[in-house]
Structure formats: structure tokens, C-alpha cells
């Protein structure tokens, strides 16, 4: 049950909805979504998705993990002793946020298994820091799909989803004003939605244009 705009907010759970139906589809991520939807008819066992914080990488990787019955592993936890314990399809998250000295050997071993592997990072795989030459060549050859193009439609859809995840229904005018005023990045939209919700809770006010104007830089 959603909260109408005039209703005072309550501190409810804000876990994001991560099903395929909840994913915000837009021209900037359509190719990546179509590729994930094509599973298991992938032309190669390993692929990558990438984009800035908040663009939907984790969401889309979770969709694929559910379909492929894949385990999700943070690249920062990879080490040689872990590889023999990993079985079947895998999502490796935060690849370019991990130390290549620790990560490269285990990741190369996972490539060589031939099991389904979805790699996730912020930058394109060809730009990921790598110290192992054989791994670098594998990354350059990967099928890789970007999840971000900052158009108004996607920014607006993302804001609507973030409010919906918090069980909030806000006027369209609030979202339109946010899109115009904020940095055009998913992380900026996500952080401001959180700030707006927290301020509404603290002041026991509805989320409307008046509150928005008070918080905008």
C-alpha cells in the first residue's frame, strides 16, 4: 500500500525491489537487458555489464543470477583458496573496485573453467586495472554492455522507482524539478531521494515542492 502525498511518512523498510518486472527499462540499458533476457542462449559463457553507481547493475545482475541459479561474489573477496569452492554460474561484482594483485589470478582461473560468468563494474572492462596480461586480453575481448545514458526519461523512471521502493508516491512535479536541479547521475538521484525522505520524516511533512525547494542546492 502506497502513501498518498498528503500522508506523513513513517520509517518503513526501504529494501529495493529487484525482480525483472521492477527493472527500469530505457534506451540507455535496453541492449544489456536484452542480453540478460536471452539467457541461456548467450554466444559466449562470459560477459560484462558496467555503469556508474546506482544505474541498475546490481539489479540486473540479480535478475540474471536468479535465472541462472548463480552465486553472487564480490571481487574484493576473491582469493586462490576460494576458487575451488565456487561451482556453477557466477556473478562477480565490483571487479574494477578490487585490487588486481589479489583478484587477477582467481578471476583468470574462473574464466578458464568455462562456466557462465557475469562480471560487473563501473568502467568498461577494457579500462579495468589488470596486472595479468592473459587476463587483460580476455577482458578486452569480452561482450560488454553499458547500463547508462542520462536522458530525462531514465532519470525520471529511476526516481519513481526509488520513491516506490520506499512506499512513497510523490507528485510528478517534484520529480520533474529534481531532474532539472540535480547532477545527472543515478547516484545523485538516489542520494537525494534518501535525503528527501529522511527530511520529511524528521519534519513530519509531506514530500512536495515546498520541501523540495528547501533542500535543493
Residues above pLDDT 70, as percent of the chain: 87
What CATH code is carried by the domain that includes residue 134?
Answer: 3.40.50.300
What CATH code is carried by the domain that includes residue 154?
Answer: 1.10.8
Among 116, 146, 176, the domain-final residue is: 146
Secondary structure (3-state) at 87: coil
Shared domain check, 165 and 112: no
Shared domain check, 128 and 182: no
Give the DSSP letter string of 37-80: HTTT--SSSEEEEE-STTSSHHHHHHHHHHHHTPEEEEGGG--T
pLDDT tens-digit map of 8-30: 333 333 445 456 566 777 777 88
pLDDT at res. 11 = 36
Shared domain check, 110 and 81: yes
Is 172 domain-assigned? Answer: yes
Q: How many domains does the chain contain in total?
A: 2
pLDDT tens-digit map of 164-204: 889 898 999 999 999 888 887 777 888 899 999 999 999 99
Shared domain check, 168 and 136: no
Which residue range(s) make up the domain with 183? Answer: 150-215
Torsion of CA 17, 35, 155, 161, to 10 degrees: -10
Query: 144 with 47: CB under 8 angstroms?
Result: yes
Give me the count of residues in the chain: 217
Overall pTM surpassing 0.75 (yes/no): no
Residue 182 corresponds to which cell in the numbers above?
540535480
Amino acid at each position: 500500500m502506497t502513501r498518498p502525498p498528503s500522508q506523513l511518512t513513517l520509517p518503513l523498510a526501504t529494501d529495493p525491489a529487484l525482480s525483472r518486472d521492477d527493472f527500469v527499462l530505457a534506451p540507455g540499458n535496453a541492449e544489456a537487458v536484452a542480453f540478460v533476457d536471452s539467457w541461456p542462449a548467450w554466444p559466449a559463457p562470459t560477459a560484462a555489464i558496467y555503469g556508474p553507481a546506482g544505474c541498475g547493475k546490481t539489479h540486473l545482475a540479480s535478475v540474471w543470477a536468479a535465472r541462472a541459479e548463480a552465486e553472487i561474489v564480490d571481487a574484493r573477496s576473491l582469493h586462490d583458496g576460494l576458487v575451488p569452492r565456487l561451482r556453477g554460474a557466477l556473478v562477480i561484482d565490483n571487479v574494477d573496485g578490487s585490487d588486481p594483485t589479489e583478484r587477477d589470478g582467481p578471476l583468470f582461473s574462473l574464466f578458464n573453467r568455462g562456466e557462465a560468468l557475469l562480471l560487473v563494474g563501473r568502467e568498461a572492462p577494457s579500462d579495468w586495472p589488470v596486472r595479468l596480461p592473459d587476463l587483460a586480453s580476455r577482458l578486452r575481448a569480452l561482450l560488454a554492455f553499458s547500463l547508462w545514458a542520462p536522458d530525462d526519461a531514465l532519470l525520471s523512471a529511476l526516481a519513481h522507482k526509488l520513491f516506490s521502493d520506499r512506499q512513497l508516491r510523490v507528485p510528478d512535479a517534484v520529480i520533474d524539478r529534481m531532474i532539472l536541479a540535480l547532477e545527472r547521475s543515478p547516484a545523485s538521484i538516489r542520494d537525494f531521494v534518501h535525503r528527501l525522505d529522511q527530511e520529511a520524516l524528521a519534519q513530519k511533512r509531506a514530500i512536495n515542492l515546498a520541501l523540495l525547494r528547501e533542500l535543493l542546492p
